[in-house]
Every structure is written in C-alpha cells, then in structure tokens.
Amino acid sequence: MTLRWTSEQVLALSPDASSTKNGKALATVAKWPLLGHSDQAVWGECKGSGKNPYRTQIDLREPAFRCSCPSRKFPCKHALGLFLLLTEQTEAFSADAPPDWVAEWLEKRSQTTPRKQTKSAKAAADPAAQAKRAEQRAAKVEAGLADLSQWMQDLMRQGLATLPNQPYSFWDQTAARLVDAQAPGLARRVRALASIPHSGEGWPDRMLSALGQLHLLVQSYGRLASLAPDLQAEVRSQIGWPQTQDDLRLRAEQADPLVVCLSDTWQVLGKVVTEEENLRVQRVWLWGRDHDKAALALSFAHGRNPLDVSLAPGDCFCGKLIFYPGTGVQRAFVESREESVSPLFQKDLGFEQIEAAIVHYAEALSQNPWLGQFPLTLRQVFPRYYDDAWWLQDAEDRILPLSPQFSQGWELMAVGGGYPLTVFGEWDGATLIPLSLWTDQQFIPLGE
C-alpha cells in the first residue's frame, strides 16, 4: 500500500482540539486488537469502555469515515487515531481482504453516487418545470432588490453616524426579507454590515465600501442583459441563485462554454472553517500545476452535520475539477479523483515581490469587484514583528500586514529560522491570513 497522507494532514481533518488530543492518545497499537488494510480502505477494532470494541473504517479514496461509537463528531477520535496510526506505523496493519462489516460499507458507498446521479438526472430532465421555477424566483428576487435599494437610500439619507446605535435587528430584519426573496447572497452581505460600526477606527470608510459593493450588485442585476455572459453568471452567483453540481455536470456534457472542466495535478494549499449562526462554511483552496489556476471548493454543514473532509491541506492528486460559471477566482468541485501524488513544491508558485502580488490582486478585482477572500502566495518572504503587529517582508523591503486574528506569527518565525519562507493565505484587500507555509520541501498547514 502506497500512503500519501502525513500526520499533519490527518490532524487537519480534526473537528476540534479535544478530538485532536484524544485521537493522538488512540494512535497506539495497544489500543487496537485488530488492524487491517487493503488498497482501498483501512479498518480496526478499538478497545472501549463497553464489552464490544468500536469498529472503525476509513475509505482512503476520499477519505470517508465510519465508526460504531456514539460520537456525533466527524471524524471521531477513533477514526483520527486509526488514521494517525496508519501514517506512523503502517507495518502494524495486516494486508487482507476487508471483513464483512467493511466490505458492506464500501459496497454501499460505491452504489450511492450512481443512484444520486440518476435521481438528479431525472429531476433535471424537465426543462419546462425548471423554466417556471426560474421565472418565479426571478420575480421574488427583483422585488427583494427593489426593497433593498430603498432601504439603502433611507440609510444614506439618515447618515452613518446613527449606525453604531442600531440594534442587530435593524440589519437582521432586512436580511430576513432578502432570504424570503430568495436572495441569500445579499442577505449574508447585509448581516455582515452589522459588525462594521463596531470594528474600530476607520469604520465609516469600510461601511461606505461595503455599501458601495452592495449597491453595485443591485444595479448590475438590474442591467443583467447588458453584461457579458460570464459576468451575468457571477452576478447571479453573488445574489444567491442556486447551482447544483448535477446541473453543472449536465452543462459540461452539453459543452456549455461557461462551465469549464480542467484535468490537472491539484494541490490543496489551505483550509478555513467559519461559522455563520447555525451554519459552518468551509473554504478549501486548490492550485493546478499545469494550468497555474486557483480553485475554491466550498462546503457547508448545518448544526452538527459533518463537513467534507476529502480535501486536506497538503494533499495532492491528479483529477478533474468542474468550475462554476463566473469571473475572477472561481468556485469548483472535484468531479473525478485519480491517484494521489507527492506534494508539489513549485519554485515559481506565487510572487517574490509584494508589489507584483498586489497588482495581480488588482487585476482580479477588475474582473470581479465583489471578491471576498483572495488566494495569495508569497515566496522568499520573512516574518517581521513590530508596532505590535505581524508583517511579511520581501527582498525589496516592502511589507504586507498580517491579520490581527492570526496568532501564529512566532511559529512562522521559528519555522523560518532566519531563512525565507513561502506563505499561502487569504488576502482581503487589507490584511493576509496565512493558511500554510513550506520550506525545504516541508509543507505545514496553519490555523488547525
């Protein structure tokens, strides 16, 4: 069995710190009276407090996990412990055919995807019904945008000075009306406005910028027919029009020029998980070696439902991605995944000069003025700490501010040891949040 996973990549899948701690404690052979593997999966039985051991199994192709323990965390501590043990003591696993409880699970997984695709294909086969639903949604969205436009005009007439005294309901009620109008993308932007008046010095400028983006989005939707097709798709996406993966697969099969499919060697550069009320949002950034193209894989989980863990920072694989229509940095999903390969450490990935990186960002912003987080890789940079803040400095002594939320500055300094680093992170136009770094062929995910 050829294993491409490292312990760092496995720990990047952990749902929280306690799972990480408990998973490490279980990564010992003494805890597992049964350990086995095949080319596709690994499995084990872990001693628990009850009479029967917990049965844990991992499908290495994604990876996917299953355990008989009652934990609602995903992956649970037993799956983490088994996976860590596999990366650290592969020789402890016996090569064998999967037992019945593993084989049945793998067989069920192999049948699920074709069944879902068939069901979705049937649902997509009625263009008349689709057109009717789209027309009804369009009417709701237009009404919601008219209401939003009036709300923004009233807000500007009253002035920004009163906003710090507004309760959260002032923003949430407007956002709720947009949700009812089936414009969830706009609703998220309105809710994000609520924190700006309390964000410190310079908040009026940030508020005007955010309102300007919102106004531009409303005006762009009103002039949708005059926009280029890819920009039309981007505006619809920002508004919150749904696009399912099955729809995109069908459009790709029909050679829709707006739906791009790329086969490449993809490396996972970083991952961020944020929480919005009862919804967790996961952003995973990938980079394609041959096409020199970034891709954003988004996944969502309500409540305690698990997030997708198939893409871990540092993972590298050959496969095909399908991109959502739009402009600038595009969202994508993994359509097919072949063999894993050794991580790529391209010397020409990213920028050595901070000035060139900012120019690159400005070009992307000209294609998509509603950019939120932007993937940025800087080579040959040094972490610096002064004025109670962290910065990255290039060879020309230009500096880039790191986000105040980033708390691993000293780790950057220690890993570099005085030598330059390659740092990947999310740039928001003002600060960078590092998500990973590498030097001397060593990839280190951050923020976990």
Query: 402, 409 in Cβ contact below 8 A?
Result: yes
Range of the domain at 53: 7-120
Report pLDDT for 3.
Answer: 60
User: Do residue 147 and residue 100 come from a single domain?
Assistant: no
What's CA 299's distance to the chain center, in Å? 6
pLDDT of residue 346: 63
CB 291 within 8 A of CB 303: no
Question: What is the pLDDT, as a whole number, of residue 375?
Answer: 96
| pLDDT score of 12 | 76
Question: What does the pLDDT average to over 278-303?
Answer: 89
Q: Give domain status of residue 347, yes or no.
A: no
- Across the range 422-446, mean pLDDT stands at 90
Task: State the CATH number of the domain containing residue 406.
Answer: 2.40.50
Per-residue pLDDT at 189 exceeds 90:
yes
Task: Dump the DSSP string for 228-296.
Answer: -HHHHHHHHHHHT----HHHHHHHHHTT-TTS-EEEEEEEEEEEEEEEETTEEEEEEEEEETTTTEEEE
DSSP state of 395: T
Computed over every residue of the chain, the mean pLDDT equals: 88
Examine the pLDDT at 398 and tell me if it is beyond 70. yes
Domain count across the chain: 4
Categorize the per-residue pLDDT at 123 as very low, low, confident or very high, splitting at 50, 70 and 90. Answer: very low
Q: What is the mean pLDDT of residues 101-115?
A: 80
Q: Which whole number is the average pLDDT over 72-94?
A: 90
- Model pLDDT for residues 224-235, shown as the tens digit of each residue: 999 999 999 999
Residue with tokens 């055919």: 97
The pair of structure tokens assigned to 14 is 């952990």
Together in a domain, 137 and 83: no
Same domain, 212 and 262: no
More confident residue, 347 or 349: 349
Domain match, 335 and 369 both: no
The model carries a pTM of 0.77
* pLDDT, tens digit (0-9, with 9 covering 90-100), for 21-31: 999 999 999 99
pLDDT band for position 293 (cuts 50, 70, 90): very high
Clarify whether residues 231 and 295 are in a common domain: no
In this predicted structure, what is the pLDDT of residue 181?
Answer: 92
Whether residues 306 and 368 fall in one domain: no
Residue 1 counted as domain residue: no
Report yes or no on 290 lying in a domain.
yes
Does 160 have pLDDT greater than 50?
yes
pLDDT at 314: 85
User: Cα separation of 312 and 60, whole Å?
Assistant: 12
Residues 359 and 377 in one domain: yes
- pLDDT tens-digit map of 36-65: 999 889 999 998 877 889 999 999 877 889
> What is the DSSP code string of 65-127?
EEESS---SSS-HHHHHHHHHHHH-GGGSEE-PPPHHHHHHHHHHHHHHHHHHHHHHHHTT-H
Q: Which residues contact 149 (CB under 8 A, 6 or more apart)?
A: 215, 218
Give the mean pLDDT of 417-423: 91
Last residue of a domain, one of 74, 90, 120: 120
Structural domain includes residue 2: no
Residue 325, in any domain of the structure: yes
At 161, give phi and psi (nearest 5°): -60, -25
Q: Is the pLDDT of residue 424 over 90?
A: yes
For residue 29, the model assigns a pLDDT of 92
Domain-embedded: residue 385: yes
Secondary structure (3-state) at 372: coil
- Strands of 54-59's sheet, edge to edge? 64-67, 54-59, 41-46, 34-37, 94-95
Structure tokens at 264: 């490449």
Q: What is the pLDDT of residues 314-345, one digit of tens each?
A: 888 899 999 999 998 899 999 998 877 777 66
- Is residue 199 one of the residues assigned to a domain? yes
Domain check: are 142 and 49 in the same one?
no
Query: Does some domain include residue 250?
Result: no
Pairing of strands 94-95, 34-37: parallel
> Both 311 and 388 in a single domain?
no
220 and 260 share one domain: no
Q: Are residues 306 and 360 in the same domain?
A: no
pLDDT of residue 172 exceeding 90: yes
> Quick one: 274 and 289 in the same domain?
yes
Determine the pLDDT at residue 112.
67
Structure confidence at residue 148 (pLDDT): 95
Q: Is 60 exceeded by the pLDDT of residue 124?
A: no
For the cut 60, the answer to whether the pLDDT of residue 116 exceeds it is no
Tell me which of 72, 95, 120 is where a domain ends. Answer: 120
The whole-number average pLDDT for the span 61-87 is 89
